[in-house]
Amino acid sequence: MSYYDDFSKKKMTKRDHLREDAKKGEDETSFRRGMKKNTLSRGQQVDKVHARITNNAEKSKTKTAVNNRPSAQKSPKKPVEQLDISDINREPENLLTGRNPIREAIKTGRDIEKLLVAKGDLSGTAREIIAMAREARIPVQMVERTRLDEITRNHQGMIAYASAYQYADVDDMLKDAQQKGEPPFLVILDGVTDPHNLGAVIRTAAAVGAHGVIVPERRAVGLTPAAVKAAAGSIEHIKVARVTNIVKEIGELKKHGIWFYAADAAGKSFREIDFSGPCALVIGSEGDGISRLVTENCDYLVSIPMKNPDIESLNASVAAGILMYAVASNR
């Protein structure tokens, strides 16, 4: 090997090495790839690098502009509503607390739904108020003092719930029917405890022209604020009475020639009943229905046919509405 041969080997470029590898039958693809990379001149390589830098700068500007663009989907923040703490601690409007206010309310004949009295030794004033309440046929319940504490603080051992509307007498309902020259049409609710059901029944009864709605004093809802609100103003157009004993009241009304129809699934279809005469519909609670004694004192059992056998009963106010319109259609 001459000096020039050895020098030429030391000065072999990358292209020469790739060519040698290709001649020996090794990777032909690597030879072409190497040729392609080295086909650019020095100036072209500088231009390529400059173009890459410029392209990256433009992408960075575009990304910044997108991030700074106001989003159309984001709505302006709404101010946080301030919570009125007084609404939380506000007592019901029909709540009477303290012995003197309760005694005066009973004296003036104001309608009271019930009287809650704390258990324990009762003073002379407390015993006097309880006696007045029972004489006025106001339900009296003896409860733990802690229950009264949960309702209000300054209760003096007793709390009364006043009615949201004045009750009428059953006799006034009969006089109203007589003045209008119509056979009496009454609706009696037995054990209905939901105020919204009571309000809905009152509203429908006023719409069909019934002369009054009767509710019992115990184990039933009365004219509470929720019931009056559910009646949606119709309480001004119909009388509502509260009686001590439903069975006894039925016996008294029968003396006026009124027939009683109890809503019961075992009864005859309402389409087969003649409601043209003096009548009273008796509606029970959705769960328990009409009590046994009340049912036994009614003249007829009336049912609402169900096309779907899987449905056993209807809501009390819905059933009452169907039957009330059945009575109205016979008049």
Q: Are 219 and 287 within 8 A, CB to CB?
A: no
State the DSSP code for 286: T
Same domain? For 104 and 247 the reply is no
Same domain? For 230 and 100 the reply is no
Question: Distance between CA 261 and CA 254 in Å, rounded?
Answer: 12
| Any domain includes 40 | no
Same domain? For 323 and 221 the reply is yes
Contacts of 142 (CB under 8 A, 6+ apart): 117, 118, 119
Same domain? For 178 and 321 the reply is yes
Same domain? For 129 and 183 the reply is no
Q: Are 263 and 323 within 8 A, CB to CB?
A: yes
**E-strand spans in the chain?**
95-97, 112-118, 140-143, 158-162, 185-190, 212-216, 240-243, 259-269, 279-284, 300-303
User: Domain end: 128, 144, 162, which one?
Assistant: 162
Q: What is the DSSP string of 113-156?
A: EEEEEESS---HHHHHHHHHHHHTT--EEEE-HHHHHHH-S--T
State the DSSP code for 314: -
| Any domain includes 139 | yes
Tokens for 320, please give them: 């009452």
Contacts of 149 (CB under 8 A, 6+ apart): 155
Phi, psi of 259 (to 5 degrees): -100, 140
User: Domain end: 146, 162, 178, which one?
Assistant: 162
For 24-48, the pLDDT digits (tens) are 555 455 445 555 445 555 556 656 6
Q: pLDDT value at position 44?
A: 62
Closest CA to 280 of 253, 242, 309, 247: 253
| Any domain includes 280 | yes
CATH of the domain at 206: 3.40.1280.10
Phi, psi of 289 (to 5 degrees): 75, -160
Phi, psi of 206 (to 5 degrees): -65, -35
Tokens for 187, please give them: 């609706």
For 166-204, the pLDDT digits (tens) are 889 999 999 999 999 999 999 999 989 999 999 999 999
Phi, psi of 10 (to 5 degrees): -70, -30
User: Domain end: 162, 194, 221, which one?
Assistant: 162
Same domain? For 98 and 200 the reply is no
Question: Distance between CA 35 and CA 63 in Å, rounded?
Answer: 37
Same domain? For 148 and 261 the reply is no
Q: Are 328 and 207 within 8 A, CB to CB?
A: no
Tokens for 5, please give them: 């041969």
Pairing of strands 240-243, 212-216: parallel
Number of domains in the chain: 2
CATH of the domain at 134: 3.30.1330.30
Q: Are 200 and 235 within 8 A, CB to CB?
A: no
| Any domain includes 154 | yes
| Any domain includes 199 | yes
Q: pLDDT value at position 46?
A: 56
| Any domain includes 60 | no
Same domain? For 182 and 223 the reply is yes
- Exposure b/e, 298-315, CB count within 10 A at least 16 = b: bebbbbbeeeeeeeeebe
Q: pLDDT value at position 78?
A: 44
Same domain? For 321 and 225 the reply is yes
Q: What is the pLDDT along the chain (331 residues), one digit of tens a residue?
A: 444 444 444 455 656 665 665 555 554 554 455 554 455 555 566 566 666 666 666 656 555 554 555 544 444 544 444 434 333 344 566 788 888 888 888 887 888 888 999 888 678 888 899 999 988 888 898 989 888 888 887 788 898 888 888 889 999 999 999 999 999 999 999 989 999 999 999 999 999 999 999 999 888 888 888 888 888 888 889 999 999 999 999 999 999 999 999 999 899 999 999 998 999 999 998 778 899 999 999 999 999 999 898 888 889 999 999 999 999 998 8
- Name the amino acid, one letter, at 207: A
If phi > 0 it is left, if psi is from -120 to 50 it is alpha, else beta; for residue 109 that is: left
Same domain? For 180 and 319 the reply is yes
Same domain? For 260 and 238 the reply is yes
| Structural domain containing residue 152 | 90-162
| Any domain includes 5 | no
| Any domain includes 313 | yes
Question: Distance between CA 260 and CA 283 in Å, rounded?
Answer: 11
Same domain? For 242 and 134 the reply is no
Q: pLDDT value at position 89?
A: 45
Question: Distance between CA 330 and CA 277 in Å, rounded?
Answer: 9
Q: pLDDT value at position 56?
A: 65
Helix (H) or strand (E) holding 83: none
Question: Distance between CA 128 and CA 115 in Å, rounded?
Answer: 13
